[in-house]
Amino acid sequence: MKKLLKKILSRTIIDRLKVILSNIDLKVVRLARRSPLLSGLYYSLLSGEFRREMHAVLNGRYHFLTAGAASRPNVYMLRRNIHRIEKGLCMIPRKPVFASKYILSTVKNFELCLSREVLAESELNWVQDVLEQYFSPRLKLLPPLIKLEKNFSN
């Protein structure tokens, strides 16, 4: 379409059209920047600038959500949860109890990753170090976590 228009239209008209389109784009951007919804609509419908990124994010979410199904090791979730635990360990002041909602699934997933040998040695050491620090005697654990800690230590 561009090639056809360049052949039909003079350079002056093409330059004027570019200025007009630029002005329209500025007005639409001025409106779209006012809310996240309008911004999303702008980039979804009127601009292809983030298509690759949006596709990559959705592809990553799909792999993250489906990796836990069918008793497969979910390395993505393990990394995410270990990072969350690590952040909790670094907090000052540290919360007396944290990660209680996902520690069980994290340890089970770690055991599954160990049994299937899907972790690189550096990643395995990192996960083990963080979990050992989480279950260290200095932390006060809730009764259900004490049993989980004993299983992890064995």
Number of domains in the chain: 2
Residue 2 CA to residue 30 CA, distance in Å, equals 27
Residue 80 CA to residue 123 CA, distance in Å, equals 12
Identify whether residues 139 and 77 lie together within a single domain.
yes
Identify whether residues 81 and 26 lie together within a single domain.
no
Q: How confident is the model over 93-121, as pLDDT tens digits?
A: 888 889 989 999 899 999 999 999 999 99
Tell me what percent of the chain is helix, strand and coil, each rounded to the nearest 5: 75, 0, 25
Q: At what angle do helices 121-134 and 103-116 cross, to 10 degrees?
A: 150
Which stretch of 75-84, 86-95, 131-140 has the lowest confidence by average pLDDT? Answer: 131-140
Q: Kindly report the pTM of this predicted structure.
A: 0.58
Identify whether residues 86 and 137 lie together within a single domain.
yes
| Model confidence at 144: pLDDT above 70 | no
Which residue segment(s) compose the domain that 28 sits in?
Answer: 2-49
Q: Strand, helix or coil at 86?
A: helix
Identify whether residues 67 and 22 lie together within a single domain.
no
Identify whether residues 68 and 105 lie together within a single domain.
yes
Identify whether residues 118 and 44 lie together within a single domain.
no
Identify whether residues 69 and 34 lie together within a single domain.
no
